[in-house]
Amino acid sequence: MPIERISLIWEHFEVIKNDKNNAICKLCRVKGLSKKEYTVAKNAGTTNLWTHLKNKHLQEHKLLKEKEDQNTTKTIHIILNHQKFNNKRLI
């Protein structure tokens, strides 16, 4: 069963098929850079991917961070509403 990619950063990266420790930046690939220039180590989670996006594609980084913040806020509201519902059922 494949690992589910949760972070939105995966919209801009894909894992290299023969090298599961590295990911390719889709934005750099479109610019025609060599594979070496847009391969990013992913062995430390998504931190390296976010850092690459911030350093090389600042506008996309900002947009993705905003999107992720909105998703986080929605998730928190869902959890809180679920907890309120469960607490009412216990009373």
Name the range with the highest mean pLDDT among 27-31, 37-41, 52-56.
Answer: 52-56
Distance of CA 21 to the CA centre of its chain: 16
pTM (predicted TM-score): 0.63
Q: What is the pLDDT of residues 5-33, one digit of tens each?
A: 578 898 998 887 887 778 888 988 876 66
Q: What is the pLDDT of residues 60-70, one digit of tens each?
A: 999 998 888 77
DSSP E strand boundaries for the chain: 13-16, 19-25, 39-41
The contacts found for 64-72 with CB under 8 angstroms, 24 or more apart, are 64/8, 64/9, 64/11, 64/12, 67/8, 68/7, 68/8, 71/8
Q: What is the pLDDT of residues 55-91, one digit of tens each?
A: 999 999 999 988 887 776 656 656 666 666 666 655 5
Alpha helices in 2-57 (DSSP H): 26-30, 47-56
